Amino acid sequence: MEINSDFSDRVVVHSDQLEWQASPMKGVDRRMLDRIGGEVARATTIVRYAPGSHFSAHTHTGGEEFIVLDGVFQDEHGDYPAGTYVRNPPTSQHTPGSEPGCTIFVKLWQFDVNDRTQFRKNMVDELRAPANGIATSVLHEDAREIVTYSDLDAGATLRSDAPGGIEVLIIDGSVTEGGDELVKNDWLRLPEGHSLTAVAGANGAKIWMKTGHLPYAQPPAV
């Protein structure tokens, strides 16, 4: 399966307009944003856990990175409320689920195979003092990528000329970028060589962003 697999394209997905698709596990549904592969895939997905649903125990051979968008995600390592950013590197294991239900934004098979750094962070707690109407936290940085979370006041402009591509998820509020209005749960991917100019709407915006990673995009090694 290939969805938005040409990384030289500018891609906008209004994810709330997509139908939910059932996963192999009852009560776990998904909206696919990009994907290369079948059930084992390099994938960017919004996943919804119904209350009381669980996924089977598994090892993240290619790593897993996710944000809890609403509800509480759970595994044997703890509870992860909305606003939590998590990195589970290659070789990590868990049995995920959610008794109250939750929705997450998750990226699979997009790690350096040698990365073994596992952590969780509350994105709001990491915010630095605002400048020009924008407060930003650096959630993760390595030689391949930089991951940030930004809280924009109304009318503030978030700009990036970062090399290696830019990927954005609107967590709340709205922005205008490249002629498109992006609202909560919308996803934007800009290819190498493109710059980002996102202007926050009347209610501001909360934005997750990753840069630098697209040159490393590869299908999973299966």
Q: What is the pLDDT of residues 159-172, one digit of tens each?
A: 999 999 999 999 99
For residue range 34-88, list pLDDT tens digits in order: 999 888 889 999 999 999 998 888 888 889 999 999 999 998 889 999 999 999 9
In this predicted structure, what is the pLDDT of residue 39? 80
Assess whether pLDDT exceeds 70 at residue 222. no
Strand pairing class (53-54; 97-98): antiparallel
- Decide if 56 contacts 95 (C-beta within 8 A): yes
Enter the tokens of residue 33.
Answer: 């944003």
Rounded to an integer, the average pLDDT of 191-203 is 97
| Long-range CB contact pairs, 11-20, < 8 A, 24+ | 11/187, 11/188, 11/189, 12/180, 12/182, 12/186, 12/187, 12/188, 13/186, 13/187, 13/188, 14/182, 14/183, 14/186, 15/46, 15/185, 15/186, 15/187, 16/183, 16/184, 16/185, 16/186, 20/48
In this predicted structure, what is the pLDDT of residue 218? 79
DSSP codes of every residue in 31-89: EEEEEEESSSEEEEEEEEEPTTEEPPPEEETT-EEEEEEEEEEEETTEEEETTEEEEE-
Distance CA 118, CA 42 (A): 19
Rounded to an integer, the average pLDDT of 135-139 is 97
Query: How would residue 123 be classed by pLDDT, with cut points 50, 70 and 90?
Result: very high
